[in-house]
Amino acid sequence: MNQITFALAKGRLAKKAMEVLKGLGITCREMETETRKLLFTSDDGNYRFFLAKTSDVPTYVDYGVADIGIVGKDTILEENRSVYEVLDLGFGKCMMAVAGEPCKKELLQSGKPIRVATKYPLIAKRYFEQTQRSVEIIKLHGSVELGPIVGLSDVIVDIVESGKTLKENGLVVHEVIEPLSARCIVNSASLKVKHEEIHTLIKQMGIRLGEQK
Ligand code: PRP
């Protein structure tokens, strides 16, 4: 068979993805050891895996150095790469939302310009354009909830999972942009050249995830 290369988002998603693949008999013992290595080959030699920074996974897949990528829908939307999204893996569930202090509800509906802090400028820009509101977007790299608390922004666009970070910082969800979860993306050329291998694998992963529900 053609060797298949996976780009995995380092961390929790990579671990979950490897559990799903293990259920299909695809194992990689080396990845289970304490190691700083980034590139691995499966025990049977048929698959390669590399551990990438989350936001880089769509890039590796777009350029075809990875056939398949496993990454969150938030990253797929924000990176906006030319890749095929073929499967919702169902884990890593959360949502993209507009959040802020409770008193910002009126401003959001007022038609006045809104200052938005976010790690996801493209998602935020698209959303406010679609909902026909004028915004100034301020890109942050983390701890976005600080934005409204210290007065940098009116609201944030960010991931909400348990809601704990918002709650502990006195913020609430004002608008849900969309639900998110881990997805499987595929390179368009790989989908043709390695059609049989990729098609079979995606199908088996889908069945396996369905059984786990
Ligand atoms: C994410 C996200 C929120 C938080 C949401 O941040 O940006 O801040 O998790 O999770 P919760 O709803 O379960 O509280 P992350 O932990 O990745 O850190 P960061 O803010 O430094 O990017």
**In 3D, which of 185, 117, 180, 121 has the Cα closest to residue 150?**
117
Residue with the nearest Cα to atom 20 of ligand 1?
Answer: 143
> 104-161 pLDDT, tens per residue?
999 999 999 999 999 999 999 999 999 999 999 999 999 999 999 999 999 999 999 9
Q: What is the mean pLDDT of residues 3-10?
A: 96
The pLDDT of residue 2: 87
Query: Which parts of 68-181 are beta strand (E)?
Result: 68-72, 84-88, 94-100, 114-118, 135-139, 155-160, 172-180
Residue with the nearest Cα to atom 7 of ligand 1?
Answer: 159
In our burial notation (b when 16+ CB lie closer than 10 A, e otherwise), range 19-32 reads ebbeeeebebeebe
**Atom of ligand 1 minimally distant from the CA of 167:** 14
How far is Cα of residue 70 from the mean position of the Cα atoms in its chain?
8
Given a cut of 80, whether residue 38 has pLDDT beyond it is yes
Euclidean distance between CA atoms 175 and 32, whole angstroms: 40
165 lines ligand 1 (CB under 6 A): yes
Q: Please, is 92 exposed, middle or buried when counting C-beta atoms within 10 Å of its C-beta (0-12, 13-18, 19+)? A: buried
> 66-119 pLDDT, tens per residue?
999 999 999 999 999 999 999 999 999 999 999 999 999 999 999 999 999 999
Q: How far is the CA of 118 from the centre of ligand 1 (A)?
A: 11
Residue with the nearest Cα to atom 10 of ligand 1?
Answer: 161
Q: How far is the CA of 73 from the centre of ligand 1 (A)?
A: 15
The pLDDT of residue 143: 97
Ligand 1 pocket test, candidate residues 160, 162, 167, 168, most atoms within 8 A of CB: 160
Q: What is the mean pLDDT of residues 5-22?
A: 95
Q: What percentage of the chain carries pLDDT values higher than 70?
A: 100
pTM across the whole model = 0.95
